[in-house]
Amino acid sequence: MKIEAITLREIQMPLVHFFETSFKRTFSRRILLLTVHCDGIEAWGECVAGEDPFYSSEWIESSWPTIKQYLAPAVLGRTLATAHESVALMAKVRGHRMAKAAVENALWDAEAQEKQIPLWKLLGGTLSEISCGVSIGIQDSIEQLLEKIQTELAAGYRRIKVKVKPGWDVNVLERIRSRWSEILLSCDANSAYTLDELEHLRKFDQFNLLMIEQPLWHDDIYYHSRLQQELRTAICLDESIHHARDAAKALDINACRIINIKVGRVGGFTEARTIHDICASRNIPVWCGGMLESGIGRAHNIALSTLHNFRLPGDVSASKRYWKEDIIEPEVEVTPQGTIAVRNEPGCGFRVRKDLIEKLTVRQETIRAGA
């Protein structure tokens, strides 16, 4: 495929309900979408960098110029046999993994469209339906949170994950467990604690959690291994796993027993797959994380989740939990059994609603080969 042009677009989409983590309450998303134009095909990618450099150092205002000035020029004008080849072309740029993933993943979509096969098959996926959980943010009251959990359980979701932070943790987990003693339950601290809080973190052990996600510093692996030795609950790393070596290192030193794979955080499908394979070879289950994606990122997460070692329910859920109207058709829907059935159309499996995207676009820029 000959890469002729890349279009960057920022769309703005209000969330149906605010989403609060230990670092921020988000009401509306600013999403960077990328279109690759090649051989008459239009292929899409979503950059999961946030509105602020809080989850990671990347944010929409770092990703846009990095793609424009470095990543797009590295691939434009080239003829690639596979999307995978783009990784080496962009390798000179250090970090900026979410920006790289947006480019690489759009190229995977292009390759799948060109070969007329579903993206999930091109990635080597084997599962025909994926298992879904939900991530529920910090609410204004515990009652509100319990109500949300009730709604999601009734919808069929197979795992509930709640966001925690100091002051919204043990008290909250206690209330959840006293109402639902058996459900698959986990929590995500997004780095809200330090090792000084070990005695407090030990209290989490009483709730029979599937895992505690990223309790310590966003860039730490070593101290998580010290913490894992002290806890019965499995630690799952999210923020601090940037590439396959991080995953291997974390497993070498027993820093976690589960890994959350976010394709944007690790720089694209190629690296995500490598991490998946490393975990599979060590019998470590993985699951697919979410970044409040629009339908395009959501479709890519579904495709990734069909790899066999995605053995735990992911944070990949229905479009309607986030958006009044999603930018793909059909929207992502979840069955009453808490699954998403993969689609067998070529490419990402969903039609991109360009009319709606046009309406939501606040800026756009097309970069061409040699320009």
* Catalytic positions: 163, 262
Nearest to 43 by CA among 90, 7, 77, 81: 7
Q: What count of Cα atoms within 13 Å lies in the side-chain half-sphere of residue 30?
A: 15
Residues 278, 309 contacting (CB under 8 angstroms)? no
* CB of residue 235 to ligand OSB, shortest distance in Å: 14
Closer to Mg ion by Cβ: residue 152 or 188: 188
- Applying CB under 6 A, the span of 119-127, 152-160, 247-255, 289-297 interacting with ligand OSB comes to 289-297
Nearest to 133 by CA among 290, 303, 363: 290
By residue count, the chain amounts to: 371
Window 147-176: contact mask with ligand OSB (x via CB under 6 A): ------------------------------
What's the rounded Cα separation, in Å, for the pair 365 and 34?
10
Report the residue from 20, 46, 169, 188 that binds ligand OSB according to the rule CB under 6 A: 188
Q: How far is CA 232 from CA 147, 148, 229, 276, in A?
A: 29, 28, 8, 24
* CB of residue 51 to Mg ion, shortest distance in Å: 17
Report the residue from 10, 188, 220, 326 that binds Mg ion according to the rule CB under 5 A: 188
* CB of residue 318 to Mg ion, shortest distance in Å: 19
Residues 250, 241 contacting (CB under 8 angstroms)? yes
What's the rounded Cα separation, in Å, for the pair 83 and 108?
5
Q: How far is CA 250 from CA 85, 238, 245, 282, 283, in A?
A: 27, 11, 8, 12, 14
* CB of residue 163 to Mg ion, shortest distance in Å: 8
Number of residues that bind ligand OSB (CB under 6 A): 12
Q: State the DSSP code for 280.
A: H
* CB of residue 369 to ligand OSB, shortest distance in Å: 34
Interacting partner of 133 out of ligand OSB, Mg ion, none (Cβ under 5 to 8 A depending on kind): none
Report the residue from 35, 86, 186, 190 that binds ligand OSB according to the rule CB under 6 A: 190
* CB of residue 157 to Mg ion, shortest distance in Å: 17
Per CB under 6 A, contacts with ligand OSB among 47-76 are: 55
- Give me the helices (H) in 116-260, please: 119-122, 142-155, 170-179, 198-202, 222-230, 244-252
- Applying CB under 5 A, the span of 94-102, 121-129, 213-221, 325-333 interacting with Mg ion comes to 213-221
Q: Is 20 in the site for Mg ion (CB under 5 A)?
A: no
Q: Is 135 in the site for ligand OSB (CB under 6 A)?
A: yes
Helix or strand run (H / E) with residue 250? helix 244-252
Closer to ligand OSB by Cβ: residue 113 or 214: 214
What's the rounded Cα separation, in Å, for the pair 266 and 242?
5
- Applying CB under 6 A, the span of 92-100, 118-126, 250-258, 285-293 interacting with ligand OSB comes to 285-293
Closer to Mg ion by Cβ: residue 23 or 70: 23
CA dihedral 209, 308, 351, 76 (to 10 degrees): 110
Q: Is 238 in the site for Mg ion (CB under 5 A)?
A: yes
Which residues, in sequence order, are bridge partners of residue 329? 351
Q: How far is CA 20 from CA 48, 136, 195, in A?
A: 17, 8, 23
- Chain contacts with Mg ion (rule: CB under 5 A): 188, 213, 238
Which positions lie near ligand OSB, rule CB under 6 A?
A: 21, 55, 135, 188, 190, 238, 289-292, 315, 317
